[in-house]
Structure 1
Amino acid sequence: MSSGEGVQDGWMARVLGLARLESPEGSQVRLERRAAAMLAYVGLEGPSPKFTVASLLWPDSPPTTIRANMRQLLRRLRLLCDGVELVEATSESLTLVPWLWLDVAQLKAAAEAHSHSRVLEIVRSAGSGSLLSGLELEDCDELSRWLDGARTAVEGWVRAARQQGVTQAMARGDWNTASALVHAWLQQEPESEQAGRHLIQLHYLQGDRDAALAAFERLRETLSRELDVDPMPETLALVRQIEKGTAVRPPSPAAPGAPLPLSVRRPPMLAGREAAWRELEEGFATGQLVFISGEPGVGKSRLVEEFAASKGRWVKIEGRFGDQAIPFAAQARAFRIHMSHRPEVILPDWVRTELSRILPELGGTRPPPLASEADELRFYDANAEAMRLLMDGYRVVVTDDVQYWDSASAKVFTYAFERILDSSTDKALAPRFIDCYRRGELPPYSANSVRQLVDTGRARLIELGPLSEEQVRLLLASLELPGAEAHADALARYTGGNPLYILETLKHLIETDGLRKDWPHRLPPPGRVGPLLQRRLERLSPRALQSAQLAALAGPFFRTSFVPEVLELSATESLAALAELEATQILVGERFSHDLVEEAIRASVSPVAARALHARLAVVLERSRAPALILAHHWREAGELERALSIQPEPL
């Protein structure tokens, strides 16, 4: 169906390009900017709180004025349509009426349904304009930020549709369709290296080697002029093939992936953890520090998060890969998290002075290096006092991935924990601490502390094991996935009862439409999730995979702002890559969704690529004045040993 068919009896609203309304008779009227922004917002976000939308449109007005302005806006929109309501407005919410055809809402629905041809059809009818083209919202900061994100999302949907359309056309040898799509893409995004690479390949597949090389030169000039970057390695590799006269295959179209149900993203119940929950209750009642140990993916984090939430106010801090090489890295991050949650807490001046050794942002005159036992004791006491003040009011403090904690942080935390326990006047209200770590991966200094605390009765250790076959069945029943329960026995055997392995296997079966089929004859060996994760990584776009690899090599210091700088991508390309990693549950914010995912990503980086990424990271981190140890690490991994050795460590 064309973009206008089936809507002749209703009104159409277009916010892609110049915002306008079209009547059933075909006449057009331009939309004022706030009316256009409101339609775009409700069309993309769905039914929305009325006052929230109004506050975005008039952010600096008092509530009575905001409500009056919204009534007037809806009235003017109704008059534009000869009295027809386009937005159903109650006292609480705004909803588009079912008979209104809104182009961006149709585009979103087509993108989510993986109907790439429909996406391109809507884009063609809109012309070359972006979402709310030419509209500025400089007086509406929050709405302007929303519009930036919405434009990025729309660009991502259109780019994915063009990519799919081009690859499908090239795979079937339909050069005319592929050429039209590529040229439309380049007209909209002339700096798109992905589109430029398709054009190079398209010329070569049609037998015009000179045109392919000329297209590469134009692409290289555009990238240099507009973005000040060189072509990516895959583009250079393609050109080398063309120069040698090597056969080049058309790209294979990617099969649209099935959406992952929410129940698989986060199972609705904890199966088989009743005994561990009872032990947690006992540890909570006695005020013991509780350690949870288990294999990767066994469900430690989920268990303690649900338990902590059941007790009242709680907070979670994490160790990260790479912390062990940097003294006080874990403790500094923990304090930053606590201070961000408790900005009202005022630390005594002497505590701030001591903590400035590991938290330079606390300011003031930096104290001299620790030169005696008395100096060290004062520093430790400051840590204990800061923890006591910042954790006051929490019922539970959870620390995850303790195996990554550096020795200095582990030592000072143990000291502070015992001080807090001994000095608490009301032990029933003192915060409870729960630490999680991978079985068999604690460094010796942490293992010794755990053993001593457990031996003296100040802590208890809970070993979390895999699920039994019956518990696997209970878990699958709770997910309500058609066809999943039939695979219960096979899943239990294949995964050994590891919950993460179960969920990763289910994701693989969903993505390959295997839930309703017999159990696959060939799968990676039981007890190994890496190959499954690797298969998911292979479905990522090159930009998304490179962004994930960058995050893995950057470790705990990764920031999403590194992606455009290190990989030399535009802001749009970076946002699209990061959005893809979020959607596929590779990244959650600036962290990997699970440490096994991070390990699989790190293993996917070739030695040559790793050295290049480490070198680019070092350059970016130097500009941001990162700690000396971090810079030295990246220069060393880049193979620049002399540069690494030339960096002077900072005194504590």
Structure 2
Amino acid sequence: MRWRLSLLGTPSLSDGVRQVSLADTGAVALAYVALEGQCSRAVLSALLWPGSPEATARNNLRQLKRRLRLACDGDELLEGEESLQLSGNVVVDALQLRDAVLPSGASEEELLAGLQFDDSPELARWLDGARARVEGWWRKARVAELARREAAGDLVGALALAEAWASREPESEEAGRHLMRLLYLQGQRGAALKVFERLERTLERELGVKPLPETLALARLLEQGTQLPGATAARRPLPMNILRPPVLAGREAEWQVLLEAWEAGQVLVIIGEPGVGKSRLITDFAESRGRWVRCEGRPGDREVPFATTVRSLREWRAVRPDVQIPEWARRELSRLLPELAEPGEALPPVSSEPDRMRLFDAITEMSTRLMGTYDTLVSDDMHYFSEADLALARYSFGRMYPTNGAGLPRCIQGLRKGEGSESLWSLVRSLEDAGVARVVELRPLGPEGVRSLLAGLGLGGAERHAERIARYTGGNPLYVVETVKHLVETGALEGDWPERLPPPGRVGRLIQRRLEALSPAALRLARVAALARTWFSYALASAVLEVGALQVGEAAVELEAAQVMAGERFTHDLVHEAVAGAIPEPLRRMLHVRLGEVLERMKAPPVVVAHHWFEAGEPQRGSES
């Protein structure tokens, strides 16, 4: 049996199903052997029972081993007779820290929190030293995890980790620098500079010192809006400024329209073709208006009622866990968020219009409380919203607009031109007709806009290809960036324009070239992600492909290095479409079968499981789910 020994915070022992209580002596004995490695019985017994006769101490240790064995259904945790070591079936969270890995769900409290041994000076000295070691491991593991997440493109996860670190150690310049970088990379330049200002004040007030030169140098880069240096422990095959171009080019006219609409108190609706730069304009504008929060539709959300809403509420609650909601709202929301339900509480399904309105009121109540400190709510990729999410949006707009100074965040929406349901476009038209919303349609960049975008990348040789790139891409910013990526990877940026490139007008062929260079394992992982859509995770892929987590992780690193995926998501919807569209039909059906089987075991919603059986050509199995 596999046991998890938690030494960080209050010590505990678990087999994944139940907790085994640990007395102080048992916790210290396990901690000592885990952290020091193999040790003699005599040394451990003398440390735990100082002043006792040797025979008594050895007998006490024998009884302690016996109690641990009985508590663990016969599993021996401390193996050996004269020389003791921890069983190979025990996983220790503190040792994961030593190996620069953040344990899942580990508390950031000190080692063996709450235990003191004032009556045993030798044991107290060992514990002080061990706690100092573990504190150093925490720092090492946090830095390594930040580098891993940033290299993987998981900037949201990295940012959450950096924020927690900076909050815990407000005087730490290392934590502050990580937080500043990550905020900048997510388009939050103003927030990054505020972190520096807060850090500067804290250092002056608490320590009476100025920030280190590297901190000041980073602040200057942020003020100038220039390219940042790469992550300390992560190397990328493509420069960071291609991943997120520093300059928002060719959108001066649209920016002015957005400013006018903002001043008029209107909802901002930005539409355009895929890759035209909707998300970049939205995030840059939201950043310029103050603090903002995102609600984002994803492929697959349409088939699952309230998928976008539920995911967003959970993300917002994770950031603001202190926010309280009324009891009536908690009960209603437990229909969508089971974690809010009291033990034994199970509300019946919504069966009437009054029930639905009450649920909508509860969602709106919780949303407004969670968003109370933000200036802007960004609803991006609304073309993926389910009908239930759209109905909620229509209802919420009726309650929230006009705001009349109610302190609610202003709204910016983004959606693809010509995509989404009739309900979505009906909502947009109704808001526009009522004067509540201003619709801004983004079009491809003109030649000067393309030249400005290329100049902002700061890559030698790119600007001299500006005319050819503008003609080749039609001015679509994504196509421009993908073309430059291709030129960088093939070493053609500094030379003449290549004689042959994939035909202009679509970026799919460029992306396909990137896919063709992947290993079979990485391509298989990308294909599973493309078909699993919203439900994709590395754990799901491991089960579908019947391979270990390490193999999935290696394939994921390759996909992230090729900028096909960022964490568990594709870098862009068009990359998703290119992968999905290139899957051979027999393989597509087989993967849908595996997804149906695994998701059924994982208790995914029946509609999700049925979708995969239908795509696999076995609709009758979907009706049985």
TM-score category of the 2 structures, normalised to the smaller one: 0.5 to 0.7
The superposition leaves residues 402-439 of structure 1 with CA deviations (integer Å, 9 ceiling, x where unpaired) of: 111111111111211220225x4524x32011110111
4+ residue stretches of structure 1 with deviation over 4 A? 36-41, 55-62, 137-152
* 1:282 corresponds to 2:264: no
* Aligned partner (choices 335, 341, 349) of residue 369 of structure 1: 349
Residue 379 to residue 602, structure 1, CA distance change in 2 (3 Å)? same
Structure 2 vs 1, CA of residues 139 and 637 (structure 1 numbering), >3 Å: closer, same or farther? farther
Secondary structure at the aligned position of 1:436 is classed as strand
Match of 1:415 in 2: 395
| Aligned: 1:453 with 2:431 | yes
Deviation of the 1:445 alpha carbon:
0.8
Cα distance in 2, alignment partners of residues 37 and 573 from structure 1: 20
- Structure 2 CA distance for partners of 1:37 and 1:646, relative to 1, 3 Å: closer
Equivalent residue letter for 1:426: G
Extract unaligned runs of 5+ from structure 2. Answer: 1-94, 102-107, 116-124, 150-234
Aligned pairs for 1:145-544 within 5 A = 259-364=237-342, 365-422=345-402, 424=403, 426-427=405-406, 429-544=407-522
Q: CA deviation at 1:521?
A: 2.3
When residues 475 and 148 of structure 1 are mapped into structure 2, their CA distance, relative to the original with a 3 A threshold, is closer
Q: Distance in 2 between matches of 1:450 and 1:368?
A: 33
Number of the residue aligned with 1:577? 555
1:383/1:416 contact within 8 Å kept: no
Does structure 2 conserve the Cα–Cα contact (< 8 Å) formed by 1:59 and 1:140?
Answer: no
Q: Deviations over 1:330-389 (max 9, x none)?
A: 222222222222211112121122222222332243323333332222222222222222
Mapped to 1, the partners of 2:439 and 2:148 lie a distance apart of 50
1:548 aligned to which of 516, 522, 526:
526
* Letter in structure 2 aligned against 1:582: E
* Identity percentage of aligned residues: 47
Aligned partner letter, 1:450: V
Structure 1's unaligned 5+ residue stretches are: 1-35, 45-54, 74-136, 153-256, 648-652
How many Å separate the matches in 2 of 1:629 and 1:321?
15
Alignment partners' CA distance in 1, 2:320 and 2:408: 17
Kindly indicate whether the alpha-carbon contact (under 8 Å) linking 1:58 and 1:140 is maintained by their aligned counterparts in 2: no
Q: Is the 8 A contact 1:454 1:461 kept in 2?
A: yes
Q: Give per-residue Cα distances to partners, 1:123-177, cap 9 Å, x unaligned.
A: xxxxxxxxxxxxxx9996786798899999xxxxxxxxxxxxxxxxxxxxxxxxx
Give 2:613's aligned residue: 635
What amino acid does structure 1 have at the position aligned with 2:543? E
Distance 1:146 1:384, change over 3 A: closer
Contact 2:511 2:575 in 1 (8 A): yes
Tell me the residue number matched to 1:609. 587
**CA RMSD between the two structures:** 3.5
**Shift in Å at residue 484 of structure 1?**
0.9
Task: Using the TM superposition, give the Cα deviation of residue 258 of structure 1 relative to its aligned residue in structure 2, in angstroms.
Answer: 8.8
Q: Aligned with 2:538: secondary structure?
A: coil
Q: Secondary structure at the match of 1:561?
A: helix
TM-score (norm 2): 0.63
- After TM superposition, the structure 1 stretch with the greater mean CA deviation from structure 2, 138-147 or 475-484, is 138-147
The residue type equivalent to 2:517 in the other structure is R
Q: What whole-Å deviation, never above 9, does each CA across 1:297-351 have from its counterpart, x for those lacking one?
A: 1111111111112222211121111222222222222222222222111121211
**Matches of 2:98 and 2:606, distance apart in 1:** 51
Letter in 2 for 1:282: E
Alignment of 1:43-192 (within 5 A): none
Are 1:328 and 1:409, in contact at CA under 8 Å, matched by a contact in 2? yes
Identify the residue that residue 216 of structure 1 maps to in structure 2: none
Q: Do the aligned partners of 1:57 and 1:143 also contact (CA within 8 Å) in 2?
A: no
Cα distance in structure 2, aligned partners of 1:289 and 1:340 = 26
Cα distance in 1, alignment partners of residues 453 and 612 from structure 2: 43
Q: CA deviation at 1:638?
A: 2.1
SS at match of 2:591: helix
Superposition deviation, residue 644 in structure 1: 0.5
Change (3 A) 1:611 1:40: closer
Q: CA deviation at 1:645?
A: 1.2
Aligned pairs, number: 430
**Contact 1:632-1:645 within 8 A present in 2 as well:** yes
Alignment CA distance shift 1:60-1:366 (3 Å):
closer
Report the Cα distance in structure 1 between the residues aligned to 2:112 and 2:289, rounded to whole angstroms: 38
Q: Distance in 2 between matches of 1:482 and 1:607?
A: 43
Q: TM-score, normalised by structure 1?
A: 0.61
The whole-number CA distance in structure 2 between the counterparts of 1:476 and 1:565 is: 43
Distance in 2 between residues matched to 1:420 and 1:309, nearest whole Å:
22
Aligned to 2:532, the other structure's residue is in SS state helix
Q: CA deviation at 1:508?
A: 0.7
Distance 1:341 1:57, change over 3 A: closer
CA contact (8 A) 2:614 2:622 kept: yes
